[in-house]
Structure 1
Amino acid sequence: MTILGHASERAIVASVACLVSFSIGLAGASATRVENRVENPSRASPAEIGQPYPALEADAIDGTLVNDARLAGRPFIVDFFATWCHPCHAALADLIAARNATTPTGLGIQFILVDLGESPDVVRRWARTALSSGSLPSDAIVALDPKGVAARRWGTRRLPTTYFVNADGIVRHINRGWGPGYRNRVSRWLRDLAPPKP
């Protein structure tokens, strides 16, 4: 088998491992405060393209709260990932490269990475390493979803899954997994999220 063949095989195995581990994590997840606080029934459904994004509330690793008020009025990306998920790392690298290639300022798009099922200490260590190596944007928000509450709310069934939301709070694009063509695809989607020039 060629080197490319081995690489493709490894990518498939890693993706399957992410999906299996993720499914096991969701199976054991319990109900949450967010589910009890959703007041708008239209936002209680999983994320769908062309619809308002589902309610989001999660603790960030810096001790702040990620919620609707914090996200209001600006485009943002929600990326569900795990530190052990190799396709998640590849997708994040492509996403950052696409943003940097589009514009140095990132078009004012907020990055929110939501870690599924890991302890705060594990995620903080990963974030420190990623920041120091430049593989994580300094303006990214890293949030925690230890029991899969946000993942269920958004309808996430595999890792990585990435949601692109415009400044009006409408889900414009959803990408599940990672593979060939990902960077070009998200480059187009990032431009689509950009606010119009005055």
Structure 2
Amino acid sequence: MNMIRSFLKVLSAALLLLVCNAGSLSAAAGPGQNLSAPVFSAVSLDGKQTGSSALAGKAYIINFFASWCPPCKGEIPDMVSLQNQYVKKGFTFVGIAVSDNEPAIRKFAQQNRISYPVVMGNEEIVKAFSRYVDGGIRGIPTSFVVNSSGKITKIIVGAVSREDFEKMIFEALGKPNSVKSSS
């Protein structure tokens, strides 16, 4: 029985790494579009309430990531830049760290100058968002775009470009879709 459990753990880790290293698997949500975002509670690494009640009325992108995931790491500089650009317009990213420990994530957030809230993923948060994805969240990065009305408008599995993030931010904020990137 222990051998089967060990095999399943190794298989799960291998599949997660495969998806993480596969590059962009951009898959916009079909059935999950325009459903109410889940209710969840969370406290960021800096001790601030970051759950659904704290995000009410804001447009946001929930980004499930890990510090060891190359595509996740590749998105961070654009996310930091866009956070700084759009935070005063009612938008924020929220990073949900999974498959990592808190000291590693704290170090990663500091090294990458992450300016948006980062939360340690727990069973409640993962379950809350997994119900919107067929088979649950199985790969990272996975991003959920939520508009200021609290509706999930898009789900993306895989890395996202700066231009695509910016388009999603504009859509979530209810702005016209013409984006002139300031990269």
Query: 1:17 aligns to what?
Result: 17
1:171 counterpart = 2:152:
yes
Kept in 2: contact 1:161–1:176 (CA 8 A): yes
Shift of 1:59: 2.9
After superposition, the CA RMSD in angstroms is: 3.0
Shift of 1:194: 2.0
TM-score (norm 2): 0.68
Kept in 1: contact 2:40–2:124 (CA 8 A): no
Which of 95, 103, 108 is matched with 2:90 structurally? 108
Query: 2:124 aligns to what?
Result: 149
CA distance in 1, matches of 2:43, 2:123: 13
Query: 1:54 aligns to what?
Result: 38
Shift of 1:106: 6.1
Query: 1:38 aligns to what?
Result: none
Query: 2:25 aligns to what?
Result: none
1:59-70 aligned within 5 A = 59-70=43-54
Moved over 6 A (4+): none
CA distance in 1, matches of 2:52, 2:46: 17
SS in 2 for 1:54: coil
| Unpaired segments ≥5 residues, structure 2 | 1-13, 22-30, 131-136, 177-183
Kept in 2: contact 1:51–1:170 (CA 8 A): yes
Query: 2:112 aligns to what?
Result: 130
What percent of counterpart residues are identical?
Answer: 22
Quickly say closer, same or farther: Cα 1:190–1:84, change in 2 above 3 A.
same
As a proportion of its length, which structure holds more helix? 1
TM-score (norm 1): 0.63
Counterpart amino acid of residue 57 in structure 1: S
Quickly say closer, same or farther: Cα 1:69–1:16, change in 2 above 3 A.
closer
Quickly say closer, same or farther: Cα 1:191–1:63, change in 2 above 3 A.
same
Which of 184, 187, 190 is matched with 2:163 structurally? 184
CA distance in 1, matches of 2:20, 2:70: 14
Shift of 1:162: 0.8
CA distance in 2, matches of 1:96, 1:120: 20
Aligned length: 148
Quickly say closer, same or farther: Cα 1:20–1:93, change in 2 above 3 A.
closer
